[in-house]
A = this chain, B = another copy of it.
Amino acid sequence: MIVILKEKNPNPKQLEPLISWLESLDVGTQFTVGARQTIIGLTGDTSVVDIDLIKSMEIVDDVKRVQEPYKKANRKFHADDTVIDVNGVKLGGGQFQMIAGPCSVESREQICLVAQRVKAAGATMLRGGAFKPRTSPYSFQGLQADGLSLLLEAKKLTGLPIVTEIMNISHLPLFEDVDVIQVGARNMQNYDLLKELGRTNKPILLKRGLANTLEELLMSAEYIMSGGNEKVILCERGIRTFETATRNTLDISAIPVLHNKTHLPVIVDPSHAAGIASLVKPLALASTMAGADGLIIEVHNDPPRALCDGAQSLTPEAFDKLAYEVRNVLPLVQKRDG
């Protein structure tokens, strides 16, 4: 961390408390006296230093961080890719997986039909929403606990591990047989939820918030990991920008940037990023080519009748084609599927 003072020769009465406070934290200091301003370089473990506190001191002009504020998620301290084992299905470190299924679980017939179709097409996990975050209180809110039971039936039928979203800590006992617990974009900074998930032993699929930076995404992963659960799968799903031609703007650069900063696997949700079915395939292919470790895609047997997100769901036929083309790309990026 670097502390830039306002002046070359700051008032010692103001400088001294800063220095002694830093020393009390076991942080070392080295001074660089510039033409107009003095700079203090902090050495040692500066993750304990509150950057805003220093910034607010009267003699301080600015503070700049050198080290990243996350540790467990940081590739600098963990060079090898993390591989997450979901009931025998491995994700990360060269293993690429496709997760597919409907936005919402609607009925036994629907979820079982879609599960069989996506499995046949090559998907290795089944997604489906039981608890649904909807912008309007008047929209369908999901089948809730019944939806979870139906997902488990589809799992039994097909053998596909299931991925589904949690919205409320108190529902955690219901998720006992769920294979991957998803934290939705709106809950990426629901810290109490993250802490609780950090105490479980389940893989967590953590979606990037609509307006959250990659650093904030990694800090939310750190919340889960610091609780003891290091099985975190990061998911880019589009960010909010000024552009209105797509629902969100898929941040394709997030894939190589995250791979550089962290050892955690990174998957992409092109369905939510685009919001339009016809864009899902090109975005899925682009994401795979950019190095994603997997995809999570909405597939519905009858998209125009879907109880939510019909606009962005693929038909099983469209998913067959997408999955086929994605698999053709994998050798070019040194990935293995299934």
Q: Which chain A residues have a beta carbon within 8 Å of chain B's beta carbons?
A: 2, 4, 30, 32-37, 39, 41-45, 47-48, 50, 52-53, 55-58, 61-62, 64, 66-67, 69-70, 133-140, 167-170, 186-187, 189-192, 195, 209-211, 213-216, 219, 222-223, 226-227, 239-246, 249-257, 260, 273-274, 277-279, 282-283, 285-291, 303-313, 325, 328-329, 332-333
**CB proximity of A131 to chain B, nearest CB, Å:** 8
Tell whether, in the assembled complex, residue B304 and residue A279 are in contact, meaning their CB atoms are under 8 Å apart: no
Q: With contacts A53-B311, A70-B136, A239-B249 known, what are 20 further pairs, Cβ within 8 A?
A: A2-B2, A30-B32, A32-B32, A47-B138, A48-B138, A56-B277, A56-B310, A69-B136, A137-B222, A187-B190, A214-B243, A241-B249, A244-B244, A245-B253, A249-B251, A252-B252, A252-B286, A253-B283, A260-B278, A288-B289
Distance (whole angstroms) from the CB of A64 to the closest CB of chain B: 5
In the assembled complex, how far is the CB of residue A326 from the closest CB belonging to chain B, in whole angstroms? 10
The docked-state distance in angstroms from the alpha carbon of A249 to that of B58 is: 24
- Chain B residues with CB under 8 Å of A278's CB are 256, 260
* Interface contact B256-A191, CB-CB below 8 Å: no
A56 and B252 in contact, given A169-B170, A186-B189, A245-B215 (Cβ under 8 angstroms): no
- Complex formed: what's the CA distance from A62 to B67 in Å? 11
Pick 6 A–B contacts, CB within 8 A, sort by A.
A33-B43, A37-B66, A48-B138, A56-B277, A61-B66, A69-B136
Contact in complex: A57, B329 (CB < 8 Å): no
Q: Note all chain B residues with C-beta closer than 8 A to A187.
A: 190
Q: Which residues of B contact A42 (CB under 8 A)?
A: 34
Minimal beta-carbon separation of A10 from chain B (angstroms): 14
**A241: B residues at CB distance < 8 A:** 239, 241-242, 249, 251
Residues of the B chain whose Cβ atoms lie less than 8 Å from the Cβ of A257? 245-246, 279
Which chain B residue shows the least CB distance to A192? B168
Q: Which of chain B's residues have a CB closer than 8 A to the CB of A309?
A: 52
Q: A43-B35, A279-B256, A286-B290 are in contact. Are A308 and B66 (CB under 8 A)?
A: no
Q: How far is the CA of A227 from the CA of B137 in the complex (A)?
A: 9
**A304 and B57 in contact (CB under 8 A), knowing A190-B186, A219-B135, A226-B138?**
yes
Residue of B nearest to A225 (CB): B137
Say how far A8's CB is from chain B's closest CB, in angstroms: 10
Closest chain-B Cβ to A239's Cβ sits at a distance in Å of 6
**With a CB–CB cut-off of 8 A, which chain B residues contact A167?**
190-192
